[in-house]
Amino acid sequence: MAHDPDAGARFPRPYRSRSAVGIALILVLGLLLGVVCIGSIGWLMLSRDSGRALLSHLWSAVTGRTLTIDVSQPTVVDRIQRLQRLETVVYTMDKIVTGEKENTFFPDFLAGDRLLMMVHGEVVAGIDFTNLKPGDVSVNGKQIRLHLPAAQVFSTRLDSARTRVYSRQTGLLVSTDPNLETKVRQAAEQQLLQAAVLDGILKTAQQNATSTISSLLQGLGFEKIDFD
C-alpha cells in the first residue's frame, strides 16, 4: 500500500482539536446568549409593569384628594338651617261645604240665599329651621343631640281648579250676595285645617322631619343621634 507523505501536513491533529473546541464554545456562547436575551425580555416586561405601577402610585400621591368631613357644631347648624322650611307632610281633602243667608220675616224661597260648594284643598305642615340656634345643637365626637323645633302648619289653601260651586239658590225678592262664596271658601279652609289637625298632621310632620334630619346627620358622619 502506497504512503502519502503530505497527509499529515493537510490534516494536522492539533487543528482538528481546536476546531472541535471552537464549535463547542460557539454552542455554549449561543446558549448563554439565548438565556440572557430571554431573561432580559422578561425583566424588561416586569420592569415596565413595575414602572407603570410605581408611576401610578406616585401620580396618585401627588394628585390624590383626601376626604374630610367637618362635623363641627357651626357646620351642623348651618347645614340644617339651609333646609329652612322643611315641608314634611301634605294633607289633602275633598269636602262639600254649604253657606246660606236667611231672613227673619220671609221664607228662603223669597229672601234666602244658599250656596253649595265642592272644595278640594290641602294643608302643608313641617318644621321651620331658620331660627335654629347653636345652643340647640350639641356635638360630642360622632354623637349629636338636637333640639328639634315643633312642627307647624305652613299653609292651608283651596285648589281653585278643583273647587267649584255645586248649586246656588237665591230668593225671588233678593239679589245674589257676591260675598257669600268668599265666606264659604274661608269657612272651608278653616274646616280643612281643623280636620288635618284632628287627623294628626303635626305629629306626622314631626316624625317625618326626625327621619329626614337623621338621614342628613348620618350623611355627615354621626353615628349616634338624639332628639329632644
> Where are the domains positioned within the chain?
12-50, 73-227
If DSSP codes are grouped into helix, strand and coil, which group holds residue 79?
Answer: helix
The amino acid sitting at 131 is: N
Mean pLDDT of 134-163: 90
pLDDT digits (tens, 9 = 90+) for 28-67: 666 666 655 665 555 455 455 555 665 566 555 556 565 4
What radius of gyration do the chain's Cα atoms show? Answer: 47
Q: Does pLDDT of 15 surpass 60?
A: no
Q: What are the residue ranges of helices labelled H in 65-171?
A: 73-81, 108-111
The amino acid sitting at 136 is: D
* pLDDT value of residue 26: 73
Q: Does pLDDT of 154 surpass 60?
A: yes
pTM: 0.61
For residues 100 and 112, is the Cβ–Cβ distance under 8 A? yes
Average pLDDT, rounded, for the chain: 77
Handedness of CA 38, 41, 47, 53 (dihedral sign): negative
Cβ-based neighbours of 113, under 8 Å, separated by 6 or more: 100, 101, 169, 170, 171, 174, 176, 177, 180
Q: What's the CA gap between 20 and 23, in Å, rounded? A: 5
Q: What's the CA gap between 166 and 217, in Å, rounded? A: 49
* pLDDT value of residue 81: 81
Q: How far is CA 78 from CA 34, 52, 54, 146, 216, in A?
A: 71, 45, 43, 13, 12
* pLDDT value of residue 176: 79
